[in-house]
A and B are shown apart, each in its own frame.
Chain A
């Protein structure tokens, strides 16, 4: 799914006017994995919420394959994954996926089975377990399986692994890439972790402090799996960090 953002601004009015995004322009071709990085409070999450149709922008325009966010949402083409796996505690692992499948049934153009979704994230043996018996990493894997079954053209991810420990986070990042690879939906990945962005994304957008706008745009042409000690990785790391530091200092 192609993402076209033109002159996007958003201001919150509660209680006082607080501009969150200002004149943001961004074009993302279909099938790209893009990381959005920026100082905290820069409007990264607001941007994602606007694209998801959870908020309506106070200015500018968002088009997703030529549709408004509301239209794309009605077509179930926009999947959402945040820091909380948002599992339903009264349903089993299987039940959580089955509910997503049921509510999305009319729009699922390929019929991935619940078992297949669980197998892809390595949870097939936990199908009958309840979410509260799972570790944080397993819970987020379950959320990934649920994301997968939606078969959406756009994945919006708001720091989904931020609450997990370093090793689990890396494992899940690898898993995410494997899940993403076969169908290549467009991914917008919000993070504050430069390493994570460099390991996963094909492109890194750096936002300024609030009101957020784009201050840098890097393309990451490194083959997967990426080695952190590769000179090209280190070079990009320096550049992204410098851009981020500049954005933070500009705010101070």
Chain B
């Protein structure tokens, strides 16, 4: 199995390399001007010519994304837990959550910037808003989805509602939490960048906005490359964590 995973990883790297090479070749063969589509080599050169700038911007954006994700995660888990323990509240709170969710991000982001300024606070809030919903929905269904035979067992022990929650529902919802994290972690980056785009004093979104207004596409693409790499790393990290935490998942349920 380990060898299989290694081969899979190798193939993934080869596919990405092939894609980049094809891109490079297409740009030079078709003579595509740099203000339309810069070649990957040019983009990477731009990136390495301004290491401090990109490092600083990345640190800020990733920090905002992490902070927002953490808040969204905590809020989602907390509210899902509350709704499981007090199911009477579910319909009302879920309606509110869906309302919040269906309001477009691009509508809220500028508002929060107006209200809260150009600092990191509106970025963190927007990221939290964006990542909160997948966590809420997934964790809630994880907490509610319990095997009947497990419930019967806990009933025969006359376990209290909080005991059922702590010893049965919560561990059973862990796989759902990770499923949510796989969606929310890349979303966190989007949230932070979009928020920065609407007005910020720094970060990758700010760099992209500046590059965009100057039609400096290598600069813009360098930021995109960083975001793509960060998104993929976050996803991989989640999968790695998941394998360690939910060790019983890949086996059939007893």
Contact with B along A84-103 (1 / 0, CB 8 A): 11111110000000011001
B254 and A131 contacting across the interface, CB-CB below 8 Å: yes
B152 and A74 contacting across the interface, CB-CB below 8 Å: no
Residues of A within 8 A of B163 (CB): 103
Residues of B within 8 A of A79 (CB): 156
A80 vs B157: C-alpha distance in the bound complex, in angstroms? 9
Confirm or deny: A114 has a beta carbon within 8 angstroms of a beta carbon on chain B: no
A73 and B149 contacting across the interface, CB-CB below 8 Å: no
Number of interface residues of B (CB under 8 A): 22
- Name the interface size band of chain A: 20 to 34
Residues of A within 8 A of B155 (CB): 52-54, 73, 80
Confirm or deny: A150 has a beta carbon within 8 angstroms of a beta carbon on chain B: yes
Other-chain residue from A84, A90, A100 in contact with B157 (beta carbon distance below 8 A): A100
Residues of A within 8 A of B174 (CB): 90
- CB within 8 Å of B: which of A51-107? 52-54, 73-76, 78-80, 82, 84-90, 99-100, 103-104
Nearest Cβ on chain A to B46's Cβ, whole angstroms: 48
Residues of A within 8 A of B159 (CB): 103
A168 vs B50: C-alpha distance in the bound complex, in angstroms? 70
Confirm or deny: B115 has a beta carbon within 8 angstroms of a beta carbon on chain A: no
A134 and B254 contacting across the interface, CB-CB below 8 Å: yes
B153 and A89 contacting across the interface, CB-CB below 8 Å: no
A53 vs B158: C-alpha distance in the bound complex, in angstroms? 10
Closest A residue to B157 by beta carbon equals A103
Confirm or deny: A132 has a beta carbon within 8 angstroms of a beta carbon on chain B: yes
A54 vs B156: C-alpha distance in the bound complex, in angstroms? 9
Other-chain residue from B152, B157, B171, B247 in contact with A150 (beta carbon distance below 8 A): B157
A103 and B167 contacting across the interface, CB-CB below 8 Å: yes
Nearest Cβ on chain A to B230's Cβ, whole angstroms: 31
A99 and B167 contacting across the interface, CB-CB below 8 Å: yes
Confirm or deny: A191 has a beta carbon within 8 angstroms of a beta carbon on chain B: no
Closest B residue to A80 by beta carbon equals B156
A64 vs B57: C-alpha distance in the bound complex, in angstroms? 71
**Most chain B C-beta atoms within 10 Å of own C-beta, residue among A104, A132, A150, A156:** A132
A132 and B251 contacting across the interface, CB-CB below 8 Å: yes
Residues A74 and B158 in contact in the complex (CB < 8 Å), given A82-B149, A86-B150: yes
Confirm or deny: A34 has a beta carbon within 8 angstroms of a beta carbon on chain B: no
Confirm or deny: B91 has a beta carbon within 8 angstroms of a beta carbon on chain A: no
A139 and B254 contacting across the interface, CB-CB below 8 Å: yes
Residues of A within 8 A of B247 (CB): 130
A-binding residues in B (CB < 8 A) = 147, 149-150, 152-159, 163, 167-168, 171, 174, 247-248, 251-254
Other 9 A-B pairs with CB < 8 A, given A52-B155, A89-B254, A99-B167: A54-B155, A80-B155, A82-B149, A84-B147, A84-B254, A86-B152, A104-B157, A132-B248, A150-B156
List, sorted by A's number, 10 A–B pairs whose CB atoms are closer than 8 Å: A73-B156, A86-B149, A88-B150, A88-B168, A90-B248, A103-B157, A103-B167, A132-B252, A134-B254, A150-B156
